[in-house]
Chains A and B, each alone.
Chain A
């Protein structure tokens, strides 16, 4: 798991601010999934990206949320104008190929105050 790097580990934002969450997949992995976890719940799929492409964003709210995975650099999950309900742990998982094992990062715990 140490191979998938997420930062920051903890992020506090005031309502209305922007949150940027970063995920560097494991070396050689070109598939990234973002998941959200509320306390005492399982993870919920948000978005699936490959380098420079959004493959499936069916789990991501249409407004205020966006994701990218550029050719160079980490994948970014961006939440604009955060609200208290956005408070959660956000995890990214990377895969070498589709259908292979998912490796998770340590997560970013977002708190909106």
Chain B
């Protein structure tokens, strides 16, 4: 019940296209859903996050869509650029678990020029 399932494992998108990564969860106590970007040899960096009281959040080219009833959320990267090539992780946390982040397995995104 603590798992967060992420797909796809890897994704290749042409420059200028839309990259879409999906995550699903089971624990209805989760109340914070961040997306992290990680480059090789670096720590994860917060990209964008959402709480379940909204269905969508947009920051620049990055959008989170959240479907509470389906227990799913997704990251959309518009106008994908080669510099977006990285590994993306979804995560979730809950107050009753001391806000420890439960992570998806990651999606390796490659943007082809």
Which residues in window 53-77 of B have CB below 8 A to A? none
* A43 vs B106: C-alpha distance when bound (angstroms): 9
* A54 vs B95: C-alpha distance when bound (angstroms): 17
Which residues in window 56-108 of A have CB below 8 A to B? 56, 59, 91, 93, 95, 98-99, 101-107
In this complex, how many residues of chain A approach chain B with their Cβ under 8 Å: the count is: 27
Q: Is the CB of B100 within 8 A of A48?
A: yes
Q: Quick one: which of B45, B98, B103, B106 contacts A56, CB cutoff 8 A? A: B98
Q: Is the CB of A91 within 8 A of B43?
A: yes
A1 / chain B contacts, CB cutoff of 8 Å = 42-43, 45
Interface CB pairs A-B, < 8 A, 12? A33-B101, A41-B106, A43-B89, A48-B98, A55-B98, A56-B97, A56-B98, A56-B100, A99-B95, A101-B34, A102-B46, A106-B43
